[in-house]
Chain A
Amino acid sequence: MARLPIQKTYKLFIGGKFPRTESGRYLQVRDEKGTLVANVCRASRKDFRMAVVAARKAQSGWAARTPFNRGQILYRMAEMLESRAASFVDLIMTTTGAKKKDATSEVECAIDRLVWYAGWCDKFTQVFGCTNQVASSHFNFTMPEPLGVVTSFAPSSASLLGIVQAMAPAITQGNVVIAVTPIELAPVAIEFAEVLATSDLPGGVVNILTGETSELHGHVTSHMDVDGVLAFGVDQETQVAMGQAAADSVKRIKFADDPGLAALMEPEAQSPYQILPWVEFKTAWHPIGI
Chain B
Amino acid sequence: MNMPVKEMLFGDLWEYAPALESTGHAQFEKRYGHFIDGEFVDASSYMKSVNPATEEVLFEFGVGTEADVDRAVQAARRAFEGPWGKMGGRERSKYIYRIARMIQEKARELAILETLDGGKPIKESRDVDIPLAAAHFFYYAGWADKLEYAFPGTTPRPLGVAGQVIPWNFPLLMAAWKIAPALATGNTVVLKAAETTPLTAMKLAEIIQEAGLPPGVVNLVNGAGSTGAAIVNHPDINKIAFTGSTDVGKIIQRAVAGTNKRLTLELGGKGANIVFEDAPIEQAIEGIVNGIYFNQGHVCCAGSRLLVQESIADEVVAKLERRIQTLVVGNPLDKNTDVGAINSKEQLDRITEMVGIGEAEGAVRHSAPCELPSKGYFFAPTFFTDVSQSHRIAQEEIFGPVLSVLTFRTPAEAIEKANNTPYGLGSGIWTDKGSKLFKVAGALQAGVIWGNTYNKFDPGSPFGGHKESGFGREGGRQGLLAYLEVS
Contact = CB atoms under 8 A, between A and B. Distances in A.
A286 B451 contact: yes
Contacts of A142: 461-462, 476, 478
Interface stretch (A83-91, A93-101, A125-133, A203-211): A125-133
Given A132-B460, A282-B446, A250 B246 contact: yes
Of A140, A247, A248, most buried by chain B (CB within 10 Å of CB) is: A247
Contacts of A241: 257-258
Given A247-B250, A249-B468, A285 B258 contact: no
Contacts of B269: none
Interface in A47-75: none
Given A133-B460, A135-B135, A286-B453, A127 B152 contact: yes
B153 interface: yes
A272 B486 CA distance: 11
Given A136-B458, A272-B153, A283-B448, A239 B258 contact: yes
A243 B257 contact: yes
A250 B258 contact: no
A134 B471 contact: no
Interface string A230-258: 00000011011111101111101000000
Interface in A244-290: 244, 246-250, 252, 271-274, 276, 280-287
Nearest to B265: A250
A239 B257 contact: yes
Given A250-B249, A284-B451, A243 B461 contact: no
Given A280-B466, A281-B447, A282-B447, A243 B256 contact: yes
A46 interface: no
B120 interface: no
Contact of A135 (B152, B267, B458): B458
B254 interface: yes
Given A132-B458, A136-B456, A285 B257 contact: no
A274 B154 CA distance: 13
Given A273-B487, A281-B447, A287 B453 contact: yes
A285 B461 contact: yes
A273 B461 contact: no
A247 to B, nearest CB: 4
A250 B487 contact: no
B448 A250 contact: no
A286 B437 contact: yes
A283 B153 contact: no
Which interface class (under 10, 10 to 19, 20 to 34, 35 or more) fits B?
A: 35 or more
Nearest to B476: A132
Interface in A104-134: 127, 130, 132-134
A273 B486 contact: yes
B298 interface: no
B312 interface: no
Contacts of A130: 476-477
Nearest to B487: A273
B456 A285 contact: yes
Contacts of A271: 153, 487
Contact of A284 (B257, B449, B460, B481): B449
B224 interface: no
Nearest to A143: B442
Interface in B246-263: 246, 249-251, 253-254, 256-258
A250 B449 contact: no
Interface in B433-487: 437, 441-442, 446-453, 456, 458, 460-464, 466-471, 473, 476-478, 481, 486-487
B456 A250 contact: no
B448 A285 contact: yes
Contact of B453 (A138, A240, A282): A138
A250 B257 contact: no
A166 B244 CA distance: 33
B103 to A, nearest CB: 15
Nearest to A144: B478
Interface string B395-409: 000000000000000
Of A136, A237, A243, most buried by chain B (CB within 10 Å of CB) is: A243
A20 to B, nearest CB: 34
Contact of B451 (A227, A237, A285): A285
Given A271-B487, A285-B448, A246 B257 contact: yes
Contacts of A243: 253-254, 256-258
A244 B257 CA distance: 6
A274 B481 CA distance: 14
Contact of B460 (A134, A242, A246, A250): A134
A132 B448 CA distance: 13
B449 A244 contact: no
Contacts of B249: 250
A283 B477 CA distance: 12
A4 to B, nearest CB: 50
Contact of B253 (A136, A140, A227, A246): A246
A30 B422 CA distance: 46
Closest 5 CB pairs of A and B: A243-B257, A240-B258, A247-B253, A134-B458, A239-B258
6 contacts: A132-B462, A134-B458, A250-B469, A281-B473, A284-B451, A287-B452
Given A132-B458, A285-B448, A285-B453, 11 more contacts: A132-B460, A132-B461, A145-B442, A244-B257, A247-B251, A250-B253, A250-B265, A281-B464, A283-B448, A283-B461, A286-B453
